[in-house]
Chains A and B, each alone.
Chain A
């Protein structure tokens, strides 16, 4: 949407941007700089290093990447792997597939059923975290939970979700929680596809899957990419599983945000907490970069 003469001059544009810039500097950039600085010290909140923090160079980073122990549960490497599984499972598979499925199923449909399901999915997204956590704890309970009551009814027994499959449980939870965003995004994207494309395909006798593969997926590539990068970022940084599992049992659900919380707020080790945040930031940055490159490549092709 490039115009010959922009509607806003650079000066006015900056003026319009200034409130946002103020907030961003104060609450995003300043804290981030603080985090970077503190990550090179042994600053803590209690104990001897609270009063006299020392510059420790790269020590916090070296401790994080101590390859002898870093895969032991409760350490950084282990947390990274859990986070990766969590992102792949709940964001890339859970939310994208679920959201896409819902969007396609309701594409060009009307009526109460569509409205009902649509509203239900969005409710799951907007209900407060704390409430959702209570509801899911009850839902997943081994002995009394609704999920196991149903599984038991159809002869699948009562799996111990919270103890035996805790990571799967939070993946399921987060897929449920976040599917709405992908659904909304894909629904809007589908609405931009001219109906004539699909009608032509139908006349030509294309099957359901052919239509998906040859028409819908290619047209939605950009949207899928955007969706992926946004929900990857959000999932990577979400703290919600904490309310469900607290990171346990035995650190099996300790994703990176919960790991940071434990180091910074249970052990008050700000130096190490800062280092983890910086590494997480670098990973986020790399993801976004990959995404931007892919977008550019796509723009070249089309």
Chain B
């Protein structure tokens, strides 16, 4: 009896095992795209015969109904159908697949690095601009000129994208991809809370002290409300460097990278001023909630807290306005337009900001790069140029208005965003095009703020640790004292 049973089990197991093996595609199966092409693929630049059906794939951190849903919808509803139709008109049978990646940015970055290293990956890859130097230096991505040939420069779009924005996906003067858009960072605040605290709702601070004074008023008048959020800590990753450290540090007259000497400042009074600003906010006076800086989901918590009216001021990019608190966003506010306003981030004192500015901001941007391993260079580049045509970006604007890379694409129906772009973009700075930035400096800056905000170290101790670590990591000849 028992034996019989086990026989049956064994039989079923064997059949299932055979099924599993049979169902799994064979190694020799036709690679659908570059993503499954083994390293020993035929010469990369070979032009396939016209009749052969071509399959392209693109990947972004976007999921219909989830993360960056608007980007996914733009690609699926406009870019792909338009491109496939265009190719058909030329007599080519091209299909494009969108790989919707649901993980985090850092996970996507790790996957890209592995894929590119292995000589595979999707033909078009959504890319954060500041990854470019690190990947280019590592030989993982190649300039458009190398992949497409000199003709890449003939695309009409380049003349509509300012050189500053082109820089977002460039390294050492070479283009690696096309940016979708750019952004800027400001202070967002709740008008209703300001009103309750007796602060004018057309608020514009002129110095760090102004910000602190307003925060103190709110703390005093509105118990239970966190006056201010300035990003700190390692949990938020790059958001700490961009929305936190940069926004303060630029106000001391320094950039994270000295474009004149090509060195990174790693010591000096400007660092202590910035760290003490953090210390005043989070440690000495409790004007910010250190908890939301340290927990893994702290940033989301602060967004929700802003939505719920328990955080009054928050330094964030325009993305916060157009996506996070937009009605239907992850911390959506139905009355966003009535309740929220923005102010420029002031320098430490007027005129002390970078380039002698009174107000400062910093921009980043994302876009798509062309995979150097693509088998279909011409088609991939065609897809890219169609995606960044005026019509295509105009379509994207109807889904989610933002600051797009092309100057002939306007921001529709959003006076706040339009005004912000107009005011802030002339003042903006960008991150350095040096791999040491993303590999060493940025994570170390995050760590330094975390040590101060958590009360673990004084600004002096944290700075000393930072100076020592960075001097060792990137070399004494590449670092200097801040102004």
Contact = CB atoms under 8 A, between A and B. Distances in A.
Interface of A: 44-48, 50-51, 72-74, 137, 160, 162-163, 245-246, 248-251, 265-268
B63 to A, nearest CB: 16
A219 to B, nearest CB: 30
Contacts of B332: none
Contact of A48 (B110, B114, B435): B435
Contact of A163 (B135, B291, B435): B291
B235 A47 contact: no
A138 B40 CA distance: 49
Given A163-B294, A163-B295, A47 B454 contact: no
B450 interface: yes
B117 interface: yes
Contacts of A162: 295
A51 B137 CA distance: 8
B391 interface: no
A47 B110 contact: no
B257 to A, nearest CB: 16
B294 A45 contact: no
Contacts of A250: 233-234, 294, 450-451, 454, 456
A160 B291 contact: yes
Given A46-B113, A47-B435, A267-B439, A248 B138 contact: no
A38 B114 CA distance: 16
B154 interface: no
B295 A267 contact: no
Contacts of A267: 439, 443
Interface string B437-456: 00100010001001100101
A266 B443 CA distance: 10
A267 B443 CA distance: 9
Interface string B103-143: 00010001001100100000000000000001101111000
B9 interface: no
B176 to A, nearest CB: 13
A47 B137 contact: yes
A166 to B, nearest CB: 9
B465 interface: yes
A233 to B, nearest CB: 26
Contacts of B465: 72
What 9 pairs across the A-B complex have the smallest Cβ distances? A50-B138, A249-B294, A46-B138, A46-B134, A246-B296, A45-B113, A51-B139, A47-B435, A265-B110
- The range of chain B's interface size is 20 to 34
A158 to B, nearest CB: 13
B405 to A, nearest CB: 25
Given A46-B439, A74-B447, A266-B106, A51 B235 contact: no
Given A74-B447, A248-B294, A265-B110, A51 B138 contact: yes
Contacts of B443: 266-267
Contacts of B235: 246, 248-249
Contact of A45 (B138, B297, B456): B138
A72 B297 CA distance: 24
B117 A245 contact: no
10 contacts: A46-B137, A47-B134, A47-B137, A163-B291, A248-B235, A248-B294, A248-B296, A249-B233, A249-B454, A250-B234
A47 B134 CA distance: 5
Nearest to A249: B294
B435 A249 contact: no
Given A48-B138, A73-B456, 7 more contacts: A47-B137, A47-B138, A48-B435, A162-B295, A163-B294, A245-B296, A266-B443
A48 B473 CA distance: 13
B439 A45 contact: no
Contacts of A44: 138
Nearest to A48: B137
Contacts of A46: 113, 134-135, 137-138, 140, 435, 439
Nearest to A143: B301
A265 B107 CA distance: 8
A276 B291 CA distance: 31
Contacts of A245: 296
Contacts of B135: 46
Contacts of B134: 46-47
Nearest to A244: B296
Contacts of A73: 456
Contacts of A45: 113-114, 117, 138, 140
A162 B294 CA distance: 9
Contacts of A249: 233, 235, 294-296, 450, 454
A234 B225 CA distance: 44
A48 B135 CA distance: 9
Nearest to A248: B235
A163 B294 CA distance: 7
B372 to A, nearest CB: 13
A47 B439 contact: yes
Contacts of B114: 45
